[in-house]
Structure 1
Amino acid sequence: MKLRILFLSLWCIVLLASCTQKSIKTTNSRAIWSKEQAKDWYDQQPWIVGANFLPSTAINQLEMWQADTFDTLTIDKELGLAQGLGMNTMRVFLHDLAFEQDSAGFLTRVDTFLTIADKHKIKPLLVIFDSCWDPFPHTGKQRAPKPFVHNSGWVQSPGQNALKDSTQYPRLEHYVKTVVSHFAKDSRILGWDVWNEPDNMTGASYQKVELPNKVDYVVPLLKKTFEWVRSANPSQFATSGIWAGDWSDSAKMKPIEKLQLTQSDIITFHNYDSVGVFENRIKLLQRYGKPLICTEYMARPNGSTFATFLPVAKKYRIGMYNWGFVNGKSQTIFPWDSWTKTYTAAPPLWFHDIFNTDGTPYKTEETDLIRKMTAEVNGKN
């Protein structure tokens, strides 16, 4: 009897150790890339050049990804235009509600998008969350664009109701872990942009209905999101780009910016200012010793153009994603001030975007320049 009890006790100890070991393996997240790992990865890449991509037939992320409006014909046509410019990547926004609505279908549609992108030699940077524009997203039919208004239908992810409700965080965790795990070893994906402009208060567009302490909710959730992404052990990099503020001294930087920089495998940033400011931002971020990618730029009236920015980016080998691609339902040819200033026709100078809806360039000198510079650095596609 004593021997039997001893045997059972030993068996339980072995079983517990085995279960503990399995638990360690399944919960062990990969580390943040070191400077050396980041540099080794970046040295194997071509010069990263692309755009922030939304098909012209979609007003926002939900219209892009929901089954009824997932437009593969337009995606294929417009990614073909990108390939024709020598672009090799696109920054593409996902949405938690599209996953919540139809998780299996959502994953299938992302896979279909990746197949189309791969055909055009494009590796997307996928954005998981976003704090910009409308804080109250909903699934189903999306509203029509407000005439002449910049990004009149773009929606946040997670929306305000989920952001302030911690009981929804397990749903968000499931979304992040499922999507990243599903594609964790997929060589068609360049990386994961964990959260776009996480502390953006949306300016004149929605600031009156924003949570005044929005950043207090975002900071801990951003940290968790980085952890959720890494728990899937993705082969791709994870990042969140800093976009505003004083970067000259770490002591002057906001806690959320420090979090973004310390948690990112590759450092990303936004800049829509003059070329002098852009180059200065690059120099300030070089002190972190990691490769740099500018994931948003190009606002023509601000002096942020292809002609001014791309030569500087080439000089420092900075990856580049301009905002906007084909003029469509997002209406980003109109400037940010279209939320407070009335426009009745196209502005004299487009704010964003490269192509008309029919695929012709807005400015042929721009498309010629992009094509020439990508060919010089990366060779012809």
Structure 2
Amino acid sequence: MRSRFCVWSMMLAVSLMLAKPAKAADAARWTEAQANAWYAKQPWLVGANYVPSDAINQLEMFQAETFNPAINDKELALAEGIGMNTMRVFLQDQLWTQDPKGFTKRLDAFLAIAAKHHIRPLLVLFDSCWEPLPKLGPQHPPIPGVHNSGWVQSPGAKELADRGYEPKLEAYVKGVVGAFAKDDRVLGWDVWNEPDNGNESSVKNEMPGKAARVAELLPKVFAWAREAHPTQPLTSGVWTWNWPDPAAGNAVVRIQVDESDVISFHDYGWPEGFEKKVVELQRYHRPIICTEYMARGAGSTFDGTLPVAKKYNVGAMNWGLVAGKTQTYLPWDSWQKPYVLSQPTVWFHEVFRQDGTPYRQHEVDLIRELTGRGLVAVR
């Protein structure tokens, strides 16, 4: 009897030992083979960073009082009409902390609208850009003549600095990713947009030592997301660059590259620079998605960049879909000199006017051609 008990105990111990690595592997970064197998099943990914034209930021997009399914439906139909199949959509941690069930319900409703239009969003969990003191409730109106004047960070500076707030950030990541971890309507998770962006040219009240704190927190965010066991890939886009190795000497970029299942990056320059970045990122032998591009006044255009992206089978998501309260059709220099008395000759971002007509017909014709949508009329 004792002998049998010992054998049983040994077998149980062995099974537990074997189970631990399996569990760890489930929460590990995808292998190159897994990432490339996932990408092989996707269409060529083309889309935009989407904020509805009636929202100034992430909070206004998803708060109960301002969530607007009708305008989402109308504007995503425009995207579908030119062949776009994905959108990059920003969330905000305070939405979850305030009302987890309500926020989840509204996000689910948005995903249903996107799926209706054959669009699978890449959902962004955290963002270090623009206003560092976000507040729930009514948002201020756009500042006249200023690009993206109401965008908010997630987490805010106070929350980022307060280590006691970290469990709430963890709950948010695990809660949102866990709610949609097996949902085919979700393309993937962009865990943190431009994590170490100090916003030197645009805002005040930034957290001192922000980059170091982000470098400490970013690996945890990847780990929290993986603990929800999503079937979708994780990423965080490289936005600062060192040649020839983008991760050289930058702790945050190193984490982004080492932790991402698929590699993503931003580029707002000329197509030659875009192509150079793509070639450099091929060293990681993983799928590549450009999650921000297209700033006409800076040299990044649909005409120049999108054909290069298709050549290399790189996903491409331009900034902006329909001009509206974000005012991102205005250039970055509007932070220093607002365009109040006159409008710029060339739109910076955006594809459509609010009435649904294209800003530039040739651009939507090109997108339709490259995505195989054909020269059909926009609905």
TM-score category, normalised to shorter length: over 0.9
Alignment equivalent of 1:274, drawn from 270, 277, 289:
270
Q: Normalised by the size of structure 2, how large is the TM-score?
A: 0.92
Whether the 8 Å contact between 1:134 and 1:156 is mirrored in structure 2 is: yes
Whether the 8 Å contact between 2:146 and 2:327 is mirrored in structure 1 is: yes
1:217 and 2:213 correspond: yes
CA distance in 2, matches of 1:87, 1:333: 20
Alignment equivalent of 1:70, drawn from 60, 63, 67:
67
3-state SS, counterpart of residue 316 of structure 2: strand
Cα 1:149–1:135 change in 2 (3 A) is same
Whether the 8 Å contact between 1:27 and 1:231 is mirrored in structure 2 is: no
CA distance in 1, matches of 2:102, 2:71: 19
1:313 and 2:309 correspond: yes
Q: CA RMSD in A?
A: 2.6
Counterpart position of 2:85: 88
Map 1:107-186; keep pairs closer than 5 Å. Answer: 107-186=104-183
1:98 and 2:102 correspond: no
Whether the 8 Å contact between 1:50 and 1:322 is mirrored in structure 2 is: yes
Counterpart position of 1:265: 261
Alignment equivalent of 2:42, drawn from 40, 45, 54:
45
Whether the 8 Å contact between 1:29 and 1:232 is mirrored in structure 2 is: no
Map 1:332-343; keep pairs closer than 5 Å. Answer: 332-343=328-339
CA distance in 1, matches of 2:70, 2:149: 24
Shift in Å at residue 56 of structure 1?
0.3
**Residue identity matched to 2:261:** D
Cα 1:289–1:228 change in 2 (3 A) is same
CA distance in 2, matches of 1:125, 1:245: 23
Offset from partner CA, 1:189-214 (integer Å, 9 cap, x none):
000000000010113211x4212310
Whether the 8 Å contact between 2:144 and 2:338 is mirrored in structure 1 is: no
Greater percentage in helix: 1
Counterpart position of 1:346: 343
Shift in Å at residue 31 of structure 1?
1.6
Cα 1:351–1:380 change in 2 (3 A) is closer
3-state SS, counterpart of residue 368 of structure 1: helix
Whether the 8 Å contact between 1:245 and 1:253 is mirrored in structure 2 is: no
Alignment equivalent of 2:359, drawn from 357, 362, 368:
362
**Residue identity matched to 2:285:** G
CA distance in 1, matches of 2:190, 2:289: 11
CA distance in 1, matches of 2:284, 2:36: 12
Shift in Å at residue 253 of structure 1?
3.8
CA distance in 2, matches of 1:324, 1:380: 20
3-state SS, counterpart of residue 204 of structure 1: coil
**Residue identity matched to 1:118:** A
CA distance in 1, matches of 2:74, 2:103: 21
Cα 1:320–1:250 change in 2 (3 A) is closer
CA distance in 2, matches of 1:38, 1:312: 22
1:227 and 2:232 correspond: no
CA distance in 1, matches of 2:319, 2:231: 26
Shift in Å at residue 328 of structure 1?
0.3
Shift in Å at residue 35 of structure 1?
1.1
CA distance in 1, matches of 2:290, 2:351: 18
Task: Give every structure 1 segment of 4 or more consecutive aligned residues whose post-TM-superposition deviation is greater than 3 Å.
Answer: 23-29
CA distance in 2, matches of 1:380, 1:143: 36
Number of equivalences: 370
Alignment equivalent of 1:374, drawn from 360, 371, 375:
371
Shift in Å at residue 342 of structure 1?
2.9
Whether the 8 Å contact between 2:148 and 2:326 is mirrored in structure 1 is: yes
Offset from partner CA, 1:339-381 (integer Å, 9 cap, x none):
101312321000000100111110011111111110179x999
3-state SS, counterpart of residue 195 of structure 1: strand
1:292 and 2:250 correspond: no
Range with bigger deviation, 365-374 or 243-252? 243-252
Shift in Å at residue 29 of structure 1?
4.7
Map 1:5-84; keep pairs closer than 5 Å. Answer: 29-84=26-81
Counterpart position of 1:195: 192
Cα 1:310–1:250 change in 2 (3 A) is closer
Alignment equivalent of 1:303, drawn from 289, 299, 306:
299
Shift in Å at residue 30 of structure 1?
1.9
Q: Percent same amino acid among aligned pairs?
A: 54
Where in structure 2 are there 5+ consecutive unaligned residues? none
CA distance in 2, matches of 1:69, 1:151: 18
Offset from partner CA, 1:86-131 (integer Å, 9 cap, x none):
0000000000001111110000001000000000000000000000
CA distance in 2, matches of 1:28, 1:267: 20
